[in-house]
Amino acid sequence: MKRRRFIKNIGVGGSSLAMLPAISYSSYSSNFLINNSIQNEYTADLIVAGGGLGGCAAALSALRNGLRVVMTEETDWIGGQITQQGVPPDEHQWIETHGATQLYRDFRNAVRQHYFQNYPVTEAARQQQYFNPGNGAVSRLCHEPRVALAVLDAMLAPYLSNRQLTLLLNHKIISADVDSDQVKALIAQNIQTEKEITLTAPYFADATELGDLLPLTNTEYVTGAEAKSDTSELHAAEKADPANQQSFTMCLAMDYVPGTENLIEKPKDYDFWREFIPDLNPSWPGKLLSLTYTHPSTLKPKTLGFHPEGTPTRDVLNLWNYRKLIDRNNFKEGTYPGDSTIINWPQNDYFLGNLVDVSSEEFDRHVAQSKQLSLSLFYWLQTEAPRPNGKQGWPGLRLRGDILGTDDGLAKYAYVRESRRIKPIFRVLEEHVGKEQRLKVAGSEEGQTAADFYDSVGIGYYHIDLHPSSGGDNYIDFASLPFQIPLGALLPQRMQNLLPANKNIGTTHITNGCYRLHPVEWSIGEAVGMLAAFALEKKSTPHTVRENKSLLADFQKLIHSQGFETQWPS
């Protein structure tokens, strides 16, 4: 007899693709979404927990293939790292033409069109091949979170209008009804009213930022760093440490108005952070609140610049320009008094504790401390940061909470770099994607490319980039190769109808460093939404789709027809 469990949370914290071929969904067309206001239940074909980039992509791909979807989101903004977390897209150099799905490029194109249609963009800026609103150094499309939110809202609008999609903002999943290896239902709670809603469906996608559904459903998962004896990865730790996780960041938005004074009240923990010297291995070169940090690749001291009125010296990265959202020169004169940028720098990475598998009290404490760090950094920039003229501080800096939809200038949610990760059918290791280890394992010829996965459902690229960790590691940053996303990494070993749709796929602590960025998270989510639709249409299971060569070929053919790439061009 199957064991049935009810698992309760105990305090752990309008696309161009519309014309592409879609699945014939006649077999489930009668499964209408039901809202029983008396019993507080919603029934759909797919429940997506988490409205970040992976969640939105999963919902959109399921919706365009005829499924009815319920998507929950803890905050009042969808979009995850690109909106509520305030992080402009971290992308690779080929993003305009390769290395993402067509739907992701549609999203990027719509961001540019939003500016052209609604902002006084200069004619010179309009003529750029790839318009970059902020001209930030980190991306070819540094833009405001509110614009990304507007575009995502527009993409979902038709499905909200015809009630194919139900979006539950300010809702968090707090428990799950599980029967052996099947999730039967999730319980969502309204954060503001505490009202609970039961969500049932054949499939569930965990697109939460921290992999929250995994412990709630007793899905096997790992956290932190694996041991080298387990993974044989060149850069893995000698001993496993589940609590050794990458830092998270509370991003902060600001602009600069020359000739004004906008000093904030001194943060209550400023004296602590002003004197704080990170205890990391290899060592950090002095105080955290400084323009000198550890270079991620060489691990040697490197001094950065900060100058909101220009670049201080040649060959020095001006942090002001790094994640700049608005370059006033792209807009008609007088539109903006100054540029706007995001503080998501080495100096406000928080690594004194974790957000995963801790009590709600500890979760809240670390979030509060990380906010104090970011505000202290901002106050230090206003009052003590060195200026090229020998003076100190930039009092013209101004908090811009309105950019992030908050009152305090900080993001709605922490920028999370590392989540719980499923124990998968197939685990992505450094030997599959790391450039140095590929050369050692595959030899000089095959080692020039990442591993070729027969079950690829997408592609992506980013160098392997691990920020300082709660376990005392300094940066771990080294070259990777343009890689594929294997279907086996999206399938839990045991659970049959729960699919990861964020940073919670089957990577390691090391390979998470290149699979965690914006376009890859989107590709993971979009593949998951289509996998649920395909499995329902074929009356099969996701695991069988991978195991059956014919089904896998049909699924890959389908995703190709809807704008996926599964191999990098030579």
Within-domain flag for 240? no
Give the model's pLDDT for residue 8. 41
Query: In whole angstroms, how far apart are CA 422 and each of 78, 188, 303, 489?
Result: 24, 22, 39, 8
Q: 323-332: per-residue pLDDT in tens? A: 999 999 999 9
Q: 4-33: per-residue pLDDT in tens? A: 444 444 333 344 443 344 454 333 333 344
Same domain for 10 and 142? yes
Same domain for 449 and 370? no
Within-domain flag for 409? no
3-state class of 30 per DSSP?
coil
List of residues 6+ apart from 127 with CB closer than 8 A: none
Within-domain flag for 123? yes
Same domain for 216 and 262? no
Peptide bond into 519 cis (omega under 30): no
Q: What residues form DSSP beta bridges with 49?
A: 72, 206
Quote the CA–CA distance of 336 and 400 in Å, as a whole number.
13
Give the model's pLDDT for residue 314. 66
Q: 324-375: per-residue pLDDT in tens? A: 999 999 999 999 999 999 999 999 999 999 999 999 999 999 999 999 999 9
Within-domain flag for 28? yes
Which of these, 198, 368, 153, lies nearest to 269 by C-alpha position?
368
Within-domain flag for 506? yes
What's the rounded mean pLDDT across residues 471-475? Answer: 98
* Residue 310 CA, distance from chain mean position: 30
Quickly count: other Cβ atoms within 10 Å of residue 269's Cβ. Answer: 16
pLDDT at 567 over 50: yes
Task: Please identify, among 371, 404, 437, the residue that sits at the C-terminal boundary of a domain.
Answer: 404
CA atoms within 13 A on the CB side of 384: 13
CATH of the domain at 171: 3.50.50.60
**Mean of pLDDT over the chain:** 93
**pTM for the predicted model, two decimal places:** 0.94
Within-domain flag for 181? yes
pLDDT at 193 over 70: yes
pLDDT at 544 over 80: yes
Give the model's pLDDT for residue 192. 95
Task: Please identify, among 404, 439, 461, the residue that sits at the C-terminal boundary of a domain.
Answer: 404
Query: Count of domains in the chain?
Result: 2
Within-domain flag for 103? yes
Give the model's pLDDT for residue 311. 65
Q: Please give the residue range of the domain that contains residue 313.
A: 248-404
Task: Please identify, among 404, 431, 455, the residue that sits at the C-terminal boundary of a domain.
Answer: 404
Within-domain flag for 109? yes
For residues 512, 518, 519, 524, the Cα torsion angle rounded to the nearest 10 degrees is 60
Same domain for 286 and 187? no
Q: 199-240: per-residue pLDDT in tens? A: 999 999 999 999 999 999 999 999 999 999 999 999 999 999
